Chains A and B, each alone.
Chain A
Amino acid sequence: MAFCDENDDDATTLFFCPNRARSGRSRAPPGMLTLTDVGRRFPGATPGGTEALRDANLLLSAGDFVALLGPSGCGKSTLLRLIAGLDRPDSGQLTWDAGQPPAPGEIGYVFQDATLLPWATTADNVFLPLRLRGESRAQAQPAIAAVLARVGLTGFENARPQQLSGGMRMRVSIARALVTQPRLLLMDEPFAALDEFTRHRLQTDLLALWQGLGCTVVFVTHSIYEAAFLARRVVLMTPRPGRIAREMLSPLQAGANNDADKRLHPDYARFVADIAHAMEAALQ
């Protein structure tokens, strides 16, 4: 498959949608969110503050898997928080195609740490988002069981976080984000603190989850390998001020080689090298 750059938008929309239900591959995928000249500045030591993000333009399509890739301070987490509604931009705007921002539960968020309630069991932690919108435990039970099965945690319903490994805690966190069946899943370096074996397992499982669910994923990472392995579209970001340098489309087939073999595939190796070169050029 040919390597695609950001300037052949029309051709590349084909790869955006893993959603098998969608017919007519030539049709553009339904949009989701458009960011126009979004900027965010934090008050800080320097006069005028720190410009965490400047003039970010990004189009998020339904069903896409986008990686925000860059070194520390490039504004990738700021961008993610803006999309989540946890923060507001100082300039520019976010335009949701649905006309209004998503309701609670339509966005799932996975933090770098699992950020579980330490006193609650696995099932109770996953129950939390549903509980916060007023569902009873009995009502939520089928959804909890289903999402725990999806992330491979059946049998660990009554374990407390401190009884679980780091990888399993992250699975609980992902299950919690998925239990509301979000349209948009935001992940902020979720695997950065895990060992490599666990990270690879979770990356592979995340791709399988994404293909099964058909939701949109925005994944923040500072690992080129991780971005190349996971994403359909890699957004390169540079620091001081944080801005989007460039976008690259994955040459890898969505849905194919989602196992460890993919890491040995020549296309994957080439994509990693291309991103690395592009990043190097962007940082200069």
Chain B
Amino acid sequence: MSARFAPIVFGSLALLGWEAGLRAFDVPAYVVPSPVAVLASFVADPVGLLVSLASTLAIAFVALTVAALLGAAMAVAMASSRWAQAAIQPWAVALQVTPLPAIAPLIIIWVGDPFAALVVCATIVAFFPLFANTATGLASPPAALQDLFHLYGAGRWQTLRLLRLPAALPYFLSGLRISGGLALVGAVVAELVAGSGGFASGLAYRILEASYRLDMPRMFAALVLLAVAGVAIDHGLAACGRFVLRRWGQS
């Protein structure tokens, strides 16, 4: 059997065991919801959850785009000057280790507009892998190739365009894949903070709302939706990366 079906087979078996265990020991749904109850809860009101998912995905997508542009631009700036590298590098690391839940309330207050605030939060989380990977890729061409460009009198811009940027492309794409998941996590974490402050939108708000009501099946339905979205983003970005690399002859 192809390994493609392995996750489906594994997941189905786990769900079966889960359902069987709950029935055998008669566990109440507000402690652990059964898979069937989760599915039923989703089917009962799919639109509410899906609209919330779309709102979360919109934040994650915009954040990923901003992080990609910003990360690549700052990596290029850093690659083009030693001064810029010294100036940028430590701040990028500082940003990476700052815990989002700690600063999210501040950002929400500072930015004002809830959507923009959430995008800023998710961007902070998604930024670093894109920045660090692109910077590594820009520095990756071997010394001999850099010598070759120097020998033929290539300027900084030519070396960047014809050597460093193409060399950085695979690194950037793998950073994009990592950051795709992180943008989603960042969006949800920021929504949790914003949601507890009364901002009613996004999947995280549904999770909060369901947990306040002890509606565990609904909460799990939201979590499953989030997981599915994460897997879809990962696969989508991987396929996108493969396509771009093949197009550029780097597969």
Contact = CB atoms under 8 A, between A and B. Distances in A.
A118 B250 contact: yes
B151 A115 contact: no
**Main SS of the interface on chain B?**
helix
Contacts, number: 52
Nearest to B154: A132
Given A107-B151, A131-B162, 5 more contacts: A86-B150, A104-B152, A104-B153, A119-B166, A160-B249
Given A119-B166, A119-B249, A86 B151 contact: yes
Per DSSP, chain A at the interface is loop
Nearest to B145: A115
Contacts of A129: 152
Task: Classify chain B: how many residues form its interface, as a range.
Answer: 10 to 19
Interface residues of A, number: 24
A1 to B, nearest CB: 37
Contact of A86 (B147, B154, B158, B249): B147
B142 interface: yes
B5 interface: no
23 contacts: A85-B151, A104-B151, A104-B152, A104-B153, A105-B152, A105-B153, A107-B151, A109-B147, A109-B148, A111-B147, A112-B144, A113-B144, A115-B142, A117-B145, A119-B249, A119-B250, A128-B162, A132-B153, A132-B154, A132-B162, A133-B152, A160-B249, A180-B152
Interface of B: 142, 144-145, 147-154, 158, 162-163, 166, 169, 248-250
A121 B151 CA distance: 21
A180 B149 CA distance: 14
Nearest to A105: B152
Contacts of A133: 152-153
B66 to A, nearest CB: 27
A117 B166 contact: yes
A8 B166 CA distance: 53
B158 A120 contact: no
